[in-house]
Structure 1
Amino acid sequence: MNRSASPELSLLIASCLDSGSYQTQKVESKQLFNLLHFHQVRPVLLSYIHRNQIDVDFKPQLTEYCKQITFSNMLSAQELVKAAGMLTAKGINVYAYKGCVWADWLYGNIGQREFGDIDLLISKDNFSEAVDVLTADAGYLVDDYRRHLLDAPEIKERFFKTDYHIPMSKATDDSSVLEAHWEVAYPRLLFTFPSEEWAEYTEKYFFLGNELNVFQQEYQFLLLLVHHGGKEQWRKLKYIADLAAYMSRYGHSTNWAKLSLLAHEKGIYSLYKWSLGLLKGLGFDWQKEWPQITPVDATSLIKYWEAMPRESANSSWRYFKHGLAIHDGLRHKSNLLWRHLKYFSEFKLLWHKAIWYRTEKARSA
């Protein structure tokens, strides 16, 4: 147990790490419930307290929540398979990414991971065609804002150069959101996983009786680090649980030399080392076959996890500062700075966005 964490957070950290050394403490149910909601680790905690015979006051409610999560996840998984199948049938290469595929890949249990969206990676070359297929054949709609950008020819190309995905929802159910990605993150964040190299790292994954395109585990592990540690900055324990699950399940079969080389090539070796160091610093049981890593002091993150702060509306400055910290060397850091400057020099796009938001605000007033 980390001494800087409350009893409630200590229990959640232990469950995410699947720690066998957790010492049972009295926890305050309301605080534990609030932390669970923020960190999105309800199935992880339920499994852990079952295995270790730990009791919490709201265990019946937690069990019911997890049943609902499993049901929702299964619907999302079926929708993912359906959407990917439609695109593949049209000759469009599509990759399953995050969400329910990671629940199965990391935990072997589709109900063990909380997620919100269905995520697909699609090459920019086929992206417009893919959106048309998802709209016409699968019943998805592009939100008004993105549709506005896509329908403006002088803005569309700028949008594709500066953004990375389009959320789509069903006309009959706006709670079912499919995120179609052509990049893994904003280009200005400098996480370079271009579609030109996807075929090199492709492998098939058997999921709900169907074959899906996914990535080899080393490549996919870096995608996990980029999303959880690069973009989301490990701000929720669900990301720590995923990292621990990967190490427990695949740490012994990972080609760490290959992974290290890829991380160096992409300028995120610092992110790779820091992320594993964070896991080790939290007290994860480190195996001798795994990379030699220096533990990272997790105190500042623990304080953040306890505080559960609201996300700021504008995250550009936070992204930039964090990007400088996790990218390697002067070349990659300079490139990161250049990408941000290029983004903020897109005056026409930014002005176009501002006008749209101002018009929408006046319309809804």
Structure 2
Amino acid sequence: MDKNVKISAELSTLIKAALRGNEDLSLFDNTSPDSARLAILSRYHQVQSLLYDYLTAHPGLIHVQDFEDLKAHSINDAVYNMIFLRKSLELNAALRNNAVDAFLMKGAFWAWWLYERPGLREFGDIDYFLRKQHITKGLHVLGRFGFQPDAYRKFLLEDESVSRLYFETDYQLPLVPDVESAVKSLEIQWNSSYPRFSYEFTWEELMSRTMLFEVLGEKIEVPSPDNQLLMMLVHHAGVEQWDKLKYMGDFVRLLRKFSDTLDWPYVISVARDKGFYQLLLQSLGLVRMLTGEDYGKYIAGDNLSDYPSDSLASAVLAHWENRRTKPMTKSWRIFYFNMKYRDRITDKLRILLKHVAYLLEWRLLLPKARWYYRNRV
């Protein structure tokens, strides 16, 4: 990464607030940020609570009204996070009691597991990973709590052959409450990403190493920190392309908390085997660039000073500054990113061939097109 690169005062302040690393890095612009732009960026990056927490120790950086707005948001987030957590634990117990193999994942879990206070991590829904063979049972259980597939997926699941193809080619199923609820969205997953992107983590793989985490007096079984790191790399790097500071906040905190106890040979072996070792190096390089923290001692034979690449660093900083617009579908953006940054030509060829196979799967694509045609605006 070009050492002469500078970012705005607003993004500099936001990175300091979200990551709490070395504030003297040459990357940062230490002039006073524009209050309005800082508030706007914090909303995009979903780090308003982290920014408010930072500003309580750095008063005077933004206008009083913007500070009060952040305070109100932070209080509301803390309340909603507690509501989400209680609902998460209730649903987790119901799935377990009905012999559905499932674990709580991503936002709700990471907020309690990784952050100094759970209210500091913003998230919008509850996510569970289910054993693929238990999806039908799991949907029945969650349905009793009022969570149903959205209209589009409900249409696809009505036909048994289309439903089977959906579960083979997708990895998640959004559910929405059929009654008024504080929890507006719940998602179940049975893979780490779309199979056509060739990451492929099954229930058996992720739960091959587990840990017990106690929250509000209840112990829940989830994948080990090693597998959590791999899941985070797939989602935050491979799918979301480090789109928001919120994602980097998760990654940095996991590394700080567990880097000395992680089974790094295992992490590296799995990343190499599945073709995203370069994403691991790029991501650790981003951490080094943004916080000054170097985890290179855990990566034998590779020098993190070569990472992140100029192209990746420039792309990440550009859309952090400019709030990358959300496309109609992210599939092609994810495709381009993985074709550029996955490890081997064989990995990229496999991704390409799986996309071709998906585009030829007319038995699924025709019902999808029919639904969108009928429901076009």
TM-score (norm 1): 0.93
* TM-superposed deviation, 1:124: 1.1
Cα deviation for residue 330 of structure 1 reads: 2.6
Please name the residue that 1:12 is paired with: 14
Task: Work out whether residues 33 and 61 of structure 2, in 8 Å CA contact, stay in contact via their aligned partners in 1.
Answer: no
Contact 1:122-1:182 at 8 Å conserved across structures? yes
Measured after TM superposition, the shift of residue 65 of structure 1 is 0.6
2:359 matches 1:344: yes
Indicate which of 302, 317, 338 corresponds to 1:323.
338
- The aligned residue for residue 127 of structure 1 is 135
Q: Deviation digits for residues 282-319 of structure 1, max 9, x if unmatched?
A: 34332675445233242332121111131111222212
- Residue 47 of structure 1 aligns with an amino acid whose one-letter code is D
Distance 1:330 1:300, change over 3 A: closer
Q: Which of 126, 146, 151 is the matching residue for 1:144? A: 151
Alignment partners' CA distance in 2, 1:315 and 1:62: 30
- Aligned Cα root-mean-square deviation (Å): 1.9
**Equivalent pair of 2:148/2:177 in contact (CA under 8 Å):** yes
- Deviation string 1:21-77 (CA, Å, 9 cap, x unpaired) is 357521111111110111111122222233455632122221111010111111111
* Counterpart-to-counterpart distance in 2, 1:44 and 1:209: 26
Deviating more after overlay: 221-230 vs 47-56: 47-56
Tell me if 1:264 matches 2:279: no
- Contact kept, 8 Å, 1:2 with 1:10, in 2: the verdict is no
Partner of 1:162: 169
Is the Cα–Cα contact under 8 Å of residues 92 and 126 in structure 1 kept in the other structure?
yes
| Deviation (angstroms), 1:199 | 3.1
Separation in 1, partners of 2:57, 2:99: 46
Please list the CA deviations of residues 71-125 of structure 1 after superposition, one character each: whole Å capped at 9, or x if unmatched: 1111111111111110100111111110111011111421010111100000110
Q: How does 1:99-110 map to 2 (within 5 A)?
A: 99-110=107-118
Within-5 A mapping of 1:202-351: 202-286=210-294, 289-291=297-299, 292-294=303-305, 295-296=307-308, 297=310, 298-351=313-366
One-letter amino acid matched to 1:227: H
CA distance in 2, matches of 1:278, 1:231: 16
Letter in 2 for 1:78: R
* SS class of match (1:157): helix
Q: Which runs of 5 or more structure 2 residues have no equivalent in the other structure?
A: none
- Residues 43 and 66 in structure 1, CA contact (< 8 A), matched pair in contact too: yes
2:70 is equivalent to residue 68 of structure 1: no
Identity percentage over the alignment?
30
1:20-31 → structure 2 map (5 Å cutoff): 20-22=22-24, 24-31=30-37
Kept in 2, the 8 Å contact 1:252–1:289? The answer is: no
Q: Which moved more, 1:260-269 or 1:116-125?
A: 260-269
Tell me if the contact between 1:17 and 1:284 (Cα under 8 Å) persists in the aligned partners.
no
* Structure 1, unaligned runs of 5 or more: none
| In 1: Cα distance, 2:295 partner to 2:282 partner | 17
How many residues align structurally? 361
CA drift at 1:2: 7.8
Aligned-partner SS, 2:212: strand
SS at match of 1:102: helix
Report the Cα distance in structure 1 between the residues aligned to 2:347 and 2:5, rounded to whole angstroms: 36
Which moved further from structure 2: 309-318 or 46-55? 46-55
CA distance in 2, matches of 1:199, 1:251: 20
Q: 1:350 to 1:287 in 2, by over 3 A?
A: closer
Q: Tell me which moved more, 51-60 or 146-155.
A: 51-60
Does the CA-based 8 Å contact 1:244-1:284 persist in structure 2?
Answer: no
- Contact 2:284 2:295 (8 Å CA) reproduced: no
Asked if the contact 1:16–1:244 (Cα under 8 Å) also holds between the matched residues in 2, the reply is: no
8 Å CA contact 1:87–1:133 kept in 2: the answer is: yes
Range with bigger deviation, 306-315 or 52-61: 52-61
Alignment partner of 1:262: what SS? helix
Q: Partner amino acid for 2:38?
A: L
The one-letter code sitting in structure 2 at the alignment partner of 1:216 is: S
Distance in structure 2 (CA, Å) of the matches to 1:20 and 1:328: 31
Give yes or no for the alignment of 1:87 onto 2:95: yes
1:345-360 aligned within 5 A: 345-360=360-375
